[in-house]
Amino acid sequence: MIIRMKQNITDKEWKNIIRYFEERGLSVKDISGETFKVVGIVGDTSVLTDTDVKSLAGVDEITRIQVPYKKASKVFHPTPTIIKVGNVTIGGGHFTVMAGPCSVETREQIISVAEDVKKSGAQILRGGAYKPRTSPYAFQGLELEGLDLLMEARKETGLPIVTEIQSTDMIERYVKDVDIIQVGARNMQNFHLLKALGKIDKPILLKRGLSATIEEWLMAAEYILAGGNEKVILCERGIRTFEKYTRNTLDLSAVLAVKELSHLPVIVDPSHAAGRWSMVSDLSKAALAVGADGIIVEVHNNPECALCDGAQSLKPEKFDSMMKQLKLIAPIVGKKMQ
């Protein structure tokens, strides 16, 4: 529910309105502009009647938000969310590139790739320390050793790091050592994890589930936002369809849908979508063209011998060529690349 106040509302009336909703177990968010006073009411507002709310002194008009996701809705938050990670800006017309190997394998590998992607213009280093896999026999990541190596690569290059979290017992460590915490597609509806991440002050990269609708994806974001953490970045990484030629089907229309429905920044993962390195560059350009706020791309210095997802990883020289093309396209479509 959105409530617009009268121009001449008094401080006493304002405090009474806030108290009225808080006493009913609802949270109040001030979303006022420069020339008007507006609040958003979050919670089960079905217990309120329009007549009762309008009878409160100082209330001008009310608007009920019909979508189930409130804090993720553009109605509730009309201005686009911009997230800062060090000197890197995500959203607000910027096109942010996150790049690195699917999985951290060795010190030499992660530092070499980090140096290469930074040289080409990537602003954030991605790399998996923990790797949830379909098969229990597949490489599961170096775990804590991988996280330590990511931190070392950050120290060597200055690039912020993004890596996936699997369980709530790692939150304290990730808050301390990771710049952006990734929630993978398989954990998109791990509500216990999402609730816990809502209580921290750290950017969350929320990947779309393998078969999730856009509403389900935004509702997953709502869990984090409802807990108080407003630093959510959405990631479209392809969805499961009947098609078998590509690993998943990249839903670029989801970028446009999110832009219409939500204020949250949205990036694209062309690597997991295609599963083929030969498609990554063109899909990245397409993501830029439709208005995505960035991409997260897999880059490996020796993909033929990669322990995880080598077939979808770009070699550093291919990544460099792609970045040069993206930098030419960005200003044409009104995007800035740092």
* Average pLDDT of the residues in 86-91: 97
Least confident of 72-76, 244-248, 313-317: 72-76
Q: How far apart are CA 255 and CA 261, in angstroms?
A: 10
Res. 153 pLDDT band, cuts 50 70 90: very high
> Which domains are present in the chain?
2-63 (3.30.70.1140), 83-333 (3.20.20.70)
Least confident of 63-72, 105-114, 132-141, 145-154: 132-141
Specify the pLDDT at position 46. 81
pTM comes to 0.90
Res. 137 pLDDT band, cuts 50 70 90: confident
Reply yes or no on whether the pLDDT at 34 is more than 80.
no
* Average pLDDT of the residues in 104-128: 97
Q: How far apart are CA 275 and CA 105, in angstroms?
A: 20
Least confident of 65-79, 115-129, 235-249: 65-79
Express each pLDDT in 172-199 by its tens digit: 999 999 999 999 999 999 999 999 999 9
% residues pLDDT > 90 (the chain): 80
Helix pair angle (144-157, 107-120), 10° resolution: 40
Q: Which two tokens stand for residue 58?
A: 């100082």
| DSSP string for residues in 98-162 | EEE-SB---HHHHHHHHHHHHHHT--EEE-BSS---SSTTS----THHHHHHHHHHHHHH---EE
* Average pLDDT of the residues in 211-239: 97
